[in-house]
Amino acid sequence: MTARRGPLPRPPAARNRGRSVLALVPNEGGLAITELPSPNQDERPPGLPIDTLILHYTDMETGAAAIARLRDPEARVSSHYVVEEDGQVFRLVPEERRAFHAGLSSWRGNEMLNGRSIGIEVVNPGHSCGYRPFPALQMAALADLCLGILSRHPIPARNVVAHSDVAPDRKRDPGELFDWRGLASLGVGLWPEGVEGGDLSVVPGGMARAAELMRRIGYPVDPARPDVALVAFQRHWRQEEWGGRPDAGTLARLEAVAALAGAG
């Protein structure tokens, strides 16, 4: 275990269309991490950079149950870290090793991302067990953890992604209640500040344009079902409405995120 945790985060300070925007404060005194090794790991493929950070939710009733599964050799799943709702952080797999967290996945043309990514499981019951907002203390600890990871590896902001971003046909985590905007305000990932997303107006040819922009950002887009990737995009960057419709608000956010992603 490392140094003691520093100051607690400030409480939520603002609201955006009914969703909280957390005023997150990184812990100045260092992040305490408890080692709970998982057998579900192996060597990373040689020559691959660690250039992607993938955030998940546990989708189980308790954090203890999730950790038990992530350490079960028969389950063959793991993550590098788990962040509990009270801010406790557990390391299951060293960063230099490959954890089994992303499965079939793709981002910016790279496939099977376990070999080049770090995975963090954020404890939440998920859509299967009673999805709920992520506590401020948990998000503050997660921000600290992510900032440390980003300081150690060449991970660009555009490669800080959701599990649902890299596997939109299979996954929906960490979901539409996750505070991506708050993390981005601290330097973890991208957020298109000042771009309104509430316009529900129909846009002729909107889906074709949406698919083009999603590919530019990095999404694996199925030509037969581009709406599947669009739901994933909306859960991340357009949380006001995430039904898979390419309306004007969605396209505005897509254009903005594509521009940010293109800038690195």
User: Catalytic residue positions?
Assistant: 121
Q: Is the peptide bond before 174 cis (omega within 30 degrees of 0)?
A: yes
From start to end of 18-116, where are the E strands?
19-21, 33-35, 41-43, 52-57, 81-83, 89-91, 97-99, 106-107, 110-111
Cα–Cα separations (whole angstroms), residue 31 to 2, 51, 131, 214? 7, 22, 26, 35
Residues 6+ positions from 247 with CB-CB distance below 8 Å: 199, 200, 201, 202, 203, 206, 241
Q: Where does residue 223 rank: exposed (0-12), middle (13-18), buried (19+ CB within 10 A)?
A: exposed
* 246 within 8 A of 228, measured Cβ to Cβ: no
Cα–Cα separations (whole angstroms), residue 222 to 35, 41, 96, 112, 249? 39, 30, 32, 17, 22
> Closest Cα to residue 157, out of 131, 185, 132?
185
Distance CA 55, CA 87 (A): 15
